[in-house]
Homo-oligomer: A and B are copies of this chain.
Amino acid sequence: MGDSKYVIGVDFGTLSGRAVIVDVANGEELATAVYEYRNGVIDEVLPGTDIHLEPDWALQDPNDYIDVFKNSIPIVLSESGVDAADVIGIGIDFTACTMLPTKADGTPLCFLPEWRNNPHAWVKLWKHHAAQPEANKLNSIAREKGFGEILDRYGGKISSEWFFPKVWQILDEAPEVYEEADRLLEAADWVIWQLTGIETRNSCTAGYKAMWSKTEGFPPDEFFRALDPRMENIVQEKMMREISPLGSKAGELTEEAAGWTGLNPGTAVAVANVDAHVSVPAATVTEPGRMVMIMGTSICHMVLGEQEQIVPGMCGVVEDGILPDMPGFEAGQSCVGDHFQWFIENCVPAGYEEEAESLGVSIHTLLEEKARNLKPGQSGLLALDWWNGNRSVLVDVDLTGMLLGATLLTRPEEIFRALIEATAYGTRIIIETFNQNGVPTNELIATGGLPDRNKLLMQIYADVTGLPIYVAEATQIGALGSAMHAAVAAGAKSGGYDNINEATVAMAQLRDEHYEPIPENKKVYDKLYTEYVILHDYFGRGENNVMKRLKALKLEMMNG
C-alpha cells in the first residue's frame, strides 16, 4: 500500500451504525461493516425494566453507539488489510436531533443505577415525538414575546423533534433529571467526546437543531426565561457555547478508544456531523445552485446559498451548517419511500403479487414496469403527498394525503405513479420556493436508497422539476462524508486535506448515468403541477382546513 493514507467514516443510523474505510486519495471504499444496535429503537419497554413507554416515545441506549465502534472498525481494518498507522483520521455522522443528558464528565444519566429506570435519562432519538406540547408552547411563546425572527430561520416553526422541545419535555415531566444533568447534548457530540475525552459541539446540530447561529449564538437567556423560568440559564449551565466548525479536529483518539477500535491512539478525530449534511460534499457539492436530495423513506433537500435568506417552510438555514462560511439550507419531504411502501403493503391486489412471483420480480419492480408504460397525465390522477404530513414548505404535520381523479377503470399502477408524481411536485414546490427567495437551484444531485432501484421515479423527478439529476457515486454517502471530514480534520500535513473543498474534488464522485428532463413530459407535468399547487394551497394554506378537522375528529373518536 506504500504511501497511501486512509480515513474511517462511521454513520450512525436509526437502527445500526456503519463504518467504512476509504482511500484518502480518491474516496474509494475498501471495506464496510454494519453493527445493529442491540437495543435498537426503544419505543415499548425500557430495557431491563417493565416500564412501558407512552405513545410517540423513541429512545436509544448510548452503549449501542460505543458498540458500533467496537464491532465495526476492527472489521474494516482487517477486511481492508490497512495498517492502523496509515489511518490518519476518523469522522462520524449521526441522526439528529438525537440527544441525551449526561454528568459533567460525559457519563449518560441512564448509565447510573439511580437514574436507569427513568426514561428521561436515556437518549431521545430523532423520531421521539412526545415533545409536541413543548414545541407548540415554544413556537407560540417565541412569536408572542418577540423572538419570531429566530423561528423564521427555521421556516417559522421549531419541530417537536428538535433540541429544546426535547429538553423542555425532560424539565416538564422529570425536573429531577433536568436538575441532575450537567450537560444536555447531541449523541453525535457525545460519541466524539467518548473517542477523544474532549467535549465539543458541532455547528451543524447546534445550528439546525438547537437554534444556534454563528452571529447570534444560542437564543438569549430572556428567551428561555420566557419559556420557563427554570430554563433561564440553560445555555451557561448545560450547553457549551464554543461551537466547532465542521471538518475541524475535535481531538485525538484516547488510549481507551484506540483499544475499542484497533486504531492508534492520537489518530485525528473530526468534529461530529449529521447524516444528511455530511452527504452534501460527499455528493460533490461545495457551491450554491446544486441541490442535494437524500432520497429514502423521506427526502432531505440540501442547498448552499450565497447569503443567509429567509425561505418560507425551510427546515433551517445555518451558516457553517453544511460547509464552512456558507449558509446551508435544509428542506424536506416527510414521506417518500415510506409512501410507496405503504402503497405496496396496503393497496396492491393479490393478482399483482402472483404476477410478480411468476415473473420472479418484486412487487415494486412490477408496479414500476406497469407505471412506466403510462404517459404523464394519462391516469387522470393527482395526489397530494402528505401521507406523513408536510415538512416543507408548509411545515404542518396535521396535513394528510389526498388522491383525486379516480374512476372505475383506475388501476393500481396508475395510483402508484400518481404517488410518485405527487412527491415530485412536492420537491418542485420546494425548489421553486427557494428560487423565489434568492436561493436558486440549477441541477439536482440524488443520493440515498431510492435512486438505485427507482429509475422511473428519477426520470419523473427530472421531468417534473425540469432539472437534470445526477447521482452520487457512493452508496454509503454518509460514511463517505464522515471520512472526508476526517481527512480534513487530519489536515494536509498528515496526508489529508486542508479543507473540505479539496477533499471533495479528490474523494467525491458522480456516476456517469444521469437523468435529463424530457421536454414533452415536462410540458404535461407543468399543467399537472399547476393543478397540484392550487390544491396544495387550498388544503395547505388554510382555505379549507378539512384535513385538520378530520384529524381532530379522529383523535376524539379514538380517545372517546
Q: Which residues of A contact B (CB under 8 A)?
A: 335, 338-339, 342, 345-350, 353-354, 375-382, 387-388, 400-408, 410-412, 524, 527-528, 531, 534-535, 538-539, 544, 546-547, 549-551, 553-554, 556-558
In the assembled complex, which residues on chain B have CB atoms less than 8 Å from the CB atom of A406? 387, 400-403
Tell which of A348, A404, A528, A554 has the most Cβ of chain B within 10 Å. Answer: A404
In the assembled complex, which residues on chain B have CB atoms less than 8 Å from the CB atom of A350? 348-350, 353-354
In the assembled complex, which residues on chain B have CB atoms less than 8 Å from the CB atom of A338? 408
Report the nearest B residue to A546, measured CB to CB: B531
A399 to B531, CA, bound (A): 15
A342 to B414, CA, bound (A): 14
Can you report 25 residue pairs joining A to B where beta carbons are below 8 Å apart? A342-B408, A346-B349, A348-B349, A349-B350, A375-B558, A377-B553, A377-B556, A380-B550, A380-B551, A382-B546, A387-B406, A387-B408, A400-B404, A400-B406, A400-B407, A401-B405, A402-B402, A402-B404, A402-B405, A404-B547, A404-B550, A527-B553, A531-B546, A535-B544, A538-B544
In the assembled complex, which residues on chain B have CB atoms less than 8 Å from the CB atom of A411? 346
Question: A553 touches which one: B354, B528, B544, B546 (CB < 8 A)?
Answer: B528
A410 to B403, CA, bound (A): 13
Q: Is the CB of B547 within 8 A of A405?
A: yes
A404 to B438, CA, bound (A): 34
Q: How many copies does the complex hold?
A: 2
Q: Can you name 11 extra interface pairs (CB under 8 A) apart from A401-B404, A402-B403, A405-B551?
A: A335-B408, A347-B349, A348-B349, A375-B557, A376-B557, A377-B554, A382-B546, A387-B407, A400-B406, A403-B406, A405-B547
Tell which of A354, A412, A546 has the most Cβ of chain B within 10 Å. Answer: A546
Q: Is the CB of A379 within 8 A of B346?
A: no
Instruction: For the complex formed, measure the closest distance between the CB of A23 and the CB atoms of chain B, giving whole angstroms.
Output: 40
In the assembled complex, which residues on chain B have CB atoms less than 8 Å from the CB atom of A342? 408, 410
Question: A345 touches which one: B349, B538, B551, B554 (CB < 8 A)?
Answer: B349
Instruction: For the complex formed, measure the closest distance between the CB of A528 and the CB atoms of chain B, giving whole angstroms.
Output: 7
Question: A546 touches which one: B535, B546, B556 (CB < 8 A)?
Answer: B535
A395 to B531, CA, bound (A): 23
Instruction: For the complex formed, measure the closest distance between the CB of A400 and the CB atoms of chain B, giving whole angstroms.
Output: 5
In the assembled complex, which residues on chain B have CB atoms less than 8 Å from the CB atom of A400? 380, 404-407
Tell which of A377, A388, A405, A557 has the most Cβ of chain B within 10 Å. Answer: A405
A408 to B385, CA, bound (A): 11
A346-B412, A528-B553 are contacts. A407–B388 as well, Cβ < 8 Å? yes
